[in-house]
Structure 1
């Protein structure tokens, strides 16, 4: 089975600008508590990780501790596997070796799906091997199926980069292992993309839009730049809007597509993802011709902001299809 393209949508979901900031703050608070506990010699101190602890078998009983809590310190890669799965036997050792090479920038949690059906279902796994990540408590799909080493490396490089830039997660120090500690792979940072992120974080929306466009001019397939551009343009559209007035206009004129689009943008920025999607699906249902097409196209643009693998996008695509066909 060929691996799906990696999606970072769960990390920068739009609750995006909002949720990512909140998750980063929670991760920083968790690290601060761990440091304080360590200074006081408390039982809650977070010790350095040994090389052997970078790869662990996880079940439903210890999932919260080994994955959710740990993800506030370091990105946790999850390998869903089973003993009878031949592709799993190819991918598993590769993931273990690569994670150890990252020397604490990532850790690997291996979950046997036969013994952990609840986790298998909660993550919506469609087939194995399936690889997910949890970053600052947020889950996101990486790929499904056995993959070539170079492609897996590229996915892990991107995960490390996003975890550090968006959430401030630099990993855990590694000690206590046998032999020489492996070198941490260098993740090259695109200066143009870093400048775009900085402009977005600083609230310079015009600068961010232009910077992301500059990145895409040279690299049209850069998914991180596409997502950043979509976020920046969305924030630009809602900047200066009177939220109360926009919502009243949308409520008073349900067939006014422009009013519904403005309200949907506000919904999305406020973290009300389902409301934004539902509003535009309804606008598509109510209208025809150019208005219907405008609502449909804008809804598709919002799907890109949130990410195609997000279950809310999947559900809304189904709702849109039912309305259209």
Structure 2
């Protein structure tokens, strides 16, 4: 990635001190998961000389981010200060988004001694996250970055921070299933949650995301692309490649492929394609400009 990411303009920015956040010195951090900003990123680069820093570029509207970020946080905390996770809201920090050339999110990049190292783009299962983190620690060790952050576990009053409220039982059941790769069980749990409350937005989003993960884990990228190229009007073949594109963060490619297919099919064969597009729109979020653009094109094709 050298040359693809330009962080030079962010290296020497003065950071406003704020204990417990990315702006604080490494010795004052109270957590291994911090929020990074355009202004504080110079400090993050310095910390990357002590431990590898994982940068998670996300946004509130990004559905796959909500699937991936908790996994990254969990794996980071398990490493006990050997890695710092810096979360970057790309909407609030446009200079960082531009510096990392974040054309799609979630995008995860590591920093070792100030140098960017690619990790992954798009939602990936926990096992793959763990494998990539293990490789990251090996690369860091090869470059002499083997420190540990002295992170405290209590707040300024000396008390433990407030715990997050527990997940509803069926949501917790779904998360537990996802963590062990049992996507079928997670789908069942989310479907039960929706049967109890059809307006449960978290269950709707979770169900869409885990269905996507379940579909893509069964696919071979090269075989799927070859099948789609050989049969451009085969809906399932195009669905497979669109799923892989979306899971890999190539949102516009996924939408464009299905919209092109929709435009070419006879009217009596279009319904499954429209339904799949609507499902994928829900994963990304209605406010995302890529969804807005794709919806507009879909509407024009419908009418």
Structure number with the bigger relative contact order (C-alpha 8 A, sep ≥ 6) is 1
TM-score (norm 2): 0.49
